């Protein structure tokens, strides 16, 4: 039977008496999320059902549903485009997984980390995705590439499909990031003492002891960290909302995608300043992360294309407006 624990407050004063240190006063009352890296095991098989995988799957389902709804309203063929979009999402999933894994492998080999050395020694392990090791930017690039390719095959305008799909995709990402919190992945740095009074979802206190297979790391037990996982969920929701508002007022095909990519690059770079996990790849004396480097390139490309297309006009199809 699956036993569920609800979030609770941690950091009460030690019952043994004694002087409370400054660190303990900073931790007192901090929010500690209930973590469930493994939700349950399938009876008789012993296969673990992991919270991260479940949240990512829910995110894909919700994102796919929103994608089809947008296609029904804004597609060139509102009757048939939703079905076509459903087929496109299958390729998007493949692109996300392959792109995210490939970028992780490239970064680890380039930095000569233990994982990178393992990939060189055992190339077949590159395909063992269930062991972990995915990079969001790689997944995003893979999803865009595979999705646009599938859209072209299915006779859906690729860039128009991207405008709709990228909005839906960030809703799905917001849900998937909850899985990062449940397993302790993509965690933040230790919060300086003067900021430790900030509430959740800005900061959080790491559970002590950690649940089995938590990725927070034993060195972070009981510490107050920047709540980067919830911040990335909020970031994704903000981007999806802004993208949706631009979509409704879009002046030309691709405008939504360019603004979403630019906004993501900016917000992702800011969140990266608070990240504490080194597995994502940090360069130049641990001053710049892989995602910040990619964000800089993506932002420059987006700005250049927004300027280039500033006078372009391509009205957005709207099935509701046509029905009237």
In a domain? residue 257: yes
Q: What residue numbers bound the domain in which 177 lies?
A: 51-319
What is the CB neighbour count within 10 angstroms for residue 136? 24
3-state secondary structure at position 203:
strand
Residue 287 confidence class, pLDDT cut points 50, 70, 90: confident
Residue 6 lies in a domain: no
CA dihedral of 111, 115, 121, 126, whole degrees rounded to 10 = -110
Average pLDDT over residues 93-107: 91
Burial label for 28, CB within 10 Å (0-12, 13-18, 19+), is: middle
Q: Hey, CA dihedral for 255, 259, 261, 262, is it positive or negative? A: positive
CA angle, 265 then 268 then 270, to 5° = 110
pLDDT at 137: 87
| Assigned domain for 80 exists | yes
Q: How many domains does the chain have?
A: 1
Whole-number percent of the chain with pLDDT over 70: 85
Q: How far apart are the C-alpha atoms of 324 and 322, rounded to whole Å? A: 5
Alpha carbon distance, N-terminus to C-terminus of the chain: 54
If you ran DSSP here, which 8-state letter would residue 222 be given? T
> Is 9 contained in some domain?
no
The answer to whether residue 3 sits within a structural domain is no
131 confidence band (pLDDT: 50, 70, 90): low
Cα separation, 168 vs 154, in Å, equals 19
Lowest mean pLDDT among 84-98, 156-170, 222-236, 275-289: 275-289
DSSP H or E stretch at residue 224: strand 224-226
User: Is 1 part of a structural domain of the chain?
Assistant: no
Question: Any alpha helices (H) in the chain, and if so which ranges?
Answer: 22-27, 51-74, 81-111, 114-121, 136-153, 158-183, 228-248, 255-272, 290-308, 319-323
pLDDT of residue 279: 65
Q: What interhelical angle do 290-308 and 255-272 show, nearest 10?
A: 150
- DSSP string for residues in 246-286: HHHT-SSTTHHHHHHHHHHHHHHHHHHTTB--STT-EETTT
Specify the 3-state DSSP secondary structure of 35: coil
Read off the pTM: 0.84
Provide the pLDDT confidence category of residue 318 given band limits of 50, 70 and 90.
Answer: low
Q: pLDDT of 241-270, one tens digit each?
A: 999 999 999 999 999 999 999 999 999 999
The DSSP bridge pattern shows strands 38-41 and 31-32 to be unpaired
Number of Cβ atoms within 10 Å of the Cβ of 222: 17
pLDDT (tens digit, 9 = 90+) per residue, 47-84? 888 888 899 999 999 999 999 999 999 999 999 999 99
pLDDT digits (tens, 9 = 90+) for 7-55: 333 343 444 444 444 444 445 546 677 778 888 888 888 888 888 889 9
Residues 6 or more apart whose CB falls under 8 angstroms from that of 127 comprise none
Is residue 177 included in any domain, yes or no?
yes
| Radius of gyration from C-alpha coordinates of the chain | 22
Phi then psi for residue 48, to 5 deg, are: -75, 135
């Amino acid at each position: 039977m699956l036993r569920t624990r609800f979030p609770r407050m941690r950091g009460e004063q030690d019952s043994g008496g004694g002087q409370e240190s400054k660190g303990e006063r900073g931790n007192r009352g901090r929010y500690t999320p209930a973590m469930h890296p493994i939700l349950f095991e399938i009876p008789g098989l012993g296969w673990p059902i992991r919270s991260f995988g479940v949240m990512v799957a829910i995110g894909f389902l919700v994102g796919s549903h929103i994608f089809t709804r947008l296609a029904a309203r804004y597609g060139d063929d509102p009757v048939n485009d939703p079905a076509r979009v459903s087929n496109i999402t299958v390729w998007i999933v493949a692109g996300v997984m392959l792109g995210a894994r490939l970028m992780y492998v490239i970064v680890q080999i380039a930095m000569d980390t233990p994982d990178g050395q393992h990939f060189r020694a055992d190339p077949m392990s590159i395909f063992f995705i269930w062991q972990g090791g995915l990079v969001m930017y790689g997944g995003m690039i893979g999803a865009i590439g595979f999705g646009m390719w599938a859209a072209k095959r299915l006779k859906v305008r690729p860039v128009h499909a991207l405008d709709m799909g990228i909005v839906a995709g960030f809703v799905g990402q917001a849900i998937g990031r909850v899985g990062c919190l449940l397993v302790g992945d993509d965690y933040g740095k230790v919060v300086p003492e003067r900021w430790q009074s900030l509430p959740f979802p800005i900061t959080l206190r790491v559970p002590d002891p950690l649940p089995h297979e938590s990725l927070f790391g034993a060195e972070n037990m009981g510490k107050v960290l920047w709540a980067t996982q919830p911040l990335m969920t909020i970031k994704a929701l903000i981007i999806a909302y802004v993208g949706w508002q631009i979509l409704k007022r879009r002046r030309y095909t691709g405008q939504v995608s360019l603004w979403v990519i630019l906004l993501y690059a900016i917000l992702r770079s800011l969140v990266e300043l608070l990240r504490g996990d080194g597995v994502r790849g940090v360069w130049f004396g641990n001053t710049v992360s892989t995602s910040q480097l990619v964000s800089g390139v993506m932002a420059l490309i987006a700005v250049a294309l927004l300027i280039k297309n500033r006078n372009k006009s391509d009205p957005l199809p709207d099935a509701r407006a046509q029905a009237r």
